[in-house]
Chains A and B, each alone.
Chain A
Amino acid sequence: MTEKLREQGSIPVSKVQRAAKFISTGAKVGGNYVKHYAKKMVNPSMNKEELHQNNATDIYNSLSELKGSALKVAQMMSMDKNLLPRAYQDKFTMAQYSAPPLSYPLVVKTFQKYFQKTPEQLFDFFSRTAKNAASIGQVHQARKDGKLLAVKIQYPGVADSVSSDLKLVRPFALRLLNMNERELDHYMEEVEERLLEETDYRLEVARSREISEACDHIPHLLFPRYYDALSSERIITMDWIEGKHIKEWMETKPSQTLKNQVGQALWDFYHHQVHHLKQVHADPHPGNFIVQEDGTLGIIDFGCVKVMPEEFYSGYFSLIKPGLTKNQEELDHIFYALDFISDQDTDQEKMYFKGVFTEMISLLGKPFHVDRFDFSKDAYFEEIFRLGDRISNDPMFKKSRQARGSKHGLYINRTYFGLYNLLNQLQAEVVTTKPAWLS
């Protein structure tokens, strides 16, 4: 996995070109399967790891050239670790870090459009190259009145291409995620809505401010300040937060106390959002968190925020109630409410899915059933992956005609998987607080 990211030559322009890109990837993936089975005939002991590896490389290369919403989908998939085999995950997590940069003249142009000034006129210093890539734009460093700032600039035309990009990704998602079409459309709508929100930088500033003010009391958290006068529909200016991404920070070998402190801050941050604000920073990928030397956790990028409807919230979190799995009647009630099962299912299907979901819940709810949970235990995550693999390969699961689970759950699941994963990366042991109404 050490190969360097390919330097971006050109970005496919029109929808036709984008489509062509996907088709060529599709062909390559097909080819990989052919290769796999050919090799397997010669060497029956070969496992599917290599095949997944090849597919992941091709798909990743293709997606990374289509900056914008396709990249976003790659990110989403990389978060849903339970759904994807290992090889895909490693590749897709790379997509979270790098994307082709905007040229500096375009950056200048964007500034002129919204402020009638060049970045040099607006700031005392403005970096010519991007310091970080964001999925739908990039981040430059700037200085004004002695303060270091981060300036996020959005790629032009992303908002317009969200819908058409998602249509292009659809056949891929079908194949990759082992879903049927109906099931997919059920979720695509939700994804499209979130993506469109993410292109609205005004909304992002408003939400960032709202959530960071509401979470202000949580210790060891740091939020950047946002500057309205230097922000617009396509540009966000905020404080530059010094520090390291979690992965790099871990390489400095911090003490266990410090790791727990960061982990706890992260947990408390999510706990407060989910149970008190009922809206949550639904993009817990490593690039959005910055750890400072003293173990303060900086949180940036509130592009993706999921607001939970009340009835979904109470249903979903009833699932973590201790001892719930033993109360069949209450469990059935929740399963119906969350669309896990419906009356269209046959009795056999109902039985099967109840079993599957109960198993999943008791596994994923584990951290909630104890006072402190040690997320550094890889065995726990292995267990989740194994369950995910087993279920997604089960013919009973594959042939189900129904969409399962409320669409609101999509981003909440993603948030929790992301949170678990970050805590695992941090090797942290945290006090897993529960909402008061559950006990």
Chain B
Amino acid sequence: METATRKKTNTKDYRKLIIDGFVTHLLEHGSMPASIFKFAKELDMKEEVFYTYFTSFEGVKSAIWVRIFEDTLEAVATQEVYKEYAVREKFLSFLYTWIEELKKNRSYLLILYQDQATAFKTLPSDAREFKEKFTDFASELILEGKETQEIASRPFITEKYDEALWLQVAFVFRYWMSDRSANFEKTDAAIEKSVNLAFDLMGKSALDSFLDFAKFLYQTK
């Protein structure tokens, strides 16, 4: 029975099979598969089939990050109100949904990234592709924010805003990993507060007026 269903999916989507198989292996063994050969054998699959889709386990891990991101975007898009949101709310909504998607994979993520020392080495490379996609998403938000005047245009600094939002994502991830509160309520609060802070900083503030004034004094002196 089990082989029958597996066969079916085999013909359909090897890529999905590999990703799911990888997650299952990690969850059950608590560590990465010893080799691609062994892993492929576990899945009843020839090693070369694996190489058609991925070249290494790093590639699989990267694909998982991207999948979580894409699932998030999809889930966000199903919410009717999303389109009516201001940029700040859109980003909040993204993070809240992202955390939900992460929650589905929490054990997997904890196995891989709980140990700070190894996470420090592996996380940046594992999440590189996710970061690229996220940066595209963030740039769009920022552009929209500039149009709606939610985000102030400042020479040089504005170009780094997508980077800033990425740092925020990283912050939220780390906070969530170590969150011990029931229902991850603290993470919710952390998201709310940190996003508000970020958007307050990016919005027009007294500092802009001050710089403008300083520039004026300097130039007209």
Contact = CB atoms under 8 A, between A and B. Distances in A.
B104 to A, nearest CB: 13
B94 to A, nearest CB: 8
B188 A106 contact: yes
Most buried by B among A103, A104, A105: A105
B96 A105 contact: yes
A184 to B, nearest CB: 28
Given A9-B200, A128-B81, A157 B89 contact: no
Interface in A94-113: 102-106, 108-110, 112-113
Contacts of B100: 109, 112
A160 B183 CA distance: 12
A118 interface: yes
Interface string B74-114: 00000111001100110011001100100000000000000
B196 A9 contact: yes
Nearest to B189: A157
B210 to A, nearest CB: 16
Interface string B202-214: 0000000000000
B181 interface: yes
B193 A10 contact: yes
A155 B197 CA distance: 17
A120 B188 contact: no
A13 interface: yes
A102 B188 CA distance: 11
A388 interface: no
Contact of A157 (B81, B186, B194): B186
Interface in A117-159: 118, 120, 128, 155-157, 159
Contacts of B88: 103
B150 interface: no
Contacts of B84: 128
Interface residues of B, number: 27
Most buried by A among B81, B97, B181, B195: B81
A106 B192 contact: yes
Given A11-B196, A157-B188, A104 B183 contact: no
For chain A, give the interface size range: 20 to 34
Contacts of B79: 108, 118
A120 B100 CA distance: 19
A102 B192 contact: yes
Interface string A407-436: 000000000000000000000000000000
A105 B181 CA distance: 20
B36 interface: no
A107 to B, nearest CB: 10
A112 B103 CA distance: 13
Contact of B93 (A12, A108, A120, A156): A108
Most buried by A among B81, B192, B193: B192
A190 B183 CA distance: 27
Contacts of B97: 109
Contacts of B191: 106
B73 interface: no
Nearest to B197: A10
Contacts of A11: 192-193, 196
B185 interface: yes
Interface of B is mostly: helix
B119 interface: no
Interface in B46-87: 79-81, 84-85
A120 B84 CA distance: 13
A105 B189 CA distance: 12
Nearest to B200: A9
B89 A104 contact: yes
B93 A105 contact: yes
Nearest to A128: B81
A157 B185 contact: yes
A160 B184 CA distance: 11
Nearest to A120: B80
Given A108-B79, A108-B93, A112-B100, A103 B192 contact: yes
B196 A109 contact: no
B3 to A, nearest CB: 34
Contacts of B177: none
B133 to A, nearest CB: 21
B132 to A, nearest CB: 25
Contacts of A120: 80-81
A128 B80 CA distance: 12
B186 A160 contact: yes
Contacts of A106: 92, 96, 188, 191-192
A160 B92 contact: no
Interface string B175-187: 0000001010110
A17 B128 CA distance: 33
B190 interface: yes
Nearest to B82: A105
A294 to B, nearest CB: 37
17 contacts: A10-B200, A11-B192, A11-B196, A13-B189, A13-B193, A103-B192, A103-B196, A104-B89, A105-B92, A105-B93, A105-B96, A106-B191, A118-B79, A118-B81, A156-B186, A156-B189, A160-B186
Interface of B: 79-81, 84-85, 88-89, 92-93, 96-97, 100, 181, 183, 185-186, 188-197, 200
Interface of A: 9-13, 102-106, 108-110, 112-113, 118, 120, 128, 155-157, 159-160
Given A128-B84, A157-B186, 14 more contacts: A103-B92, A104-B81, A105-B93, A105-B96, A106-B96, A106-B191, A106-B192, A108-B79, A110-B188, A113-B183, A118-B79, A120-B80, A156-B186, A160-B186
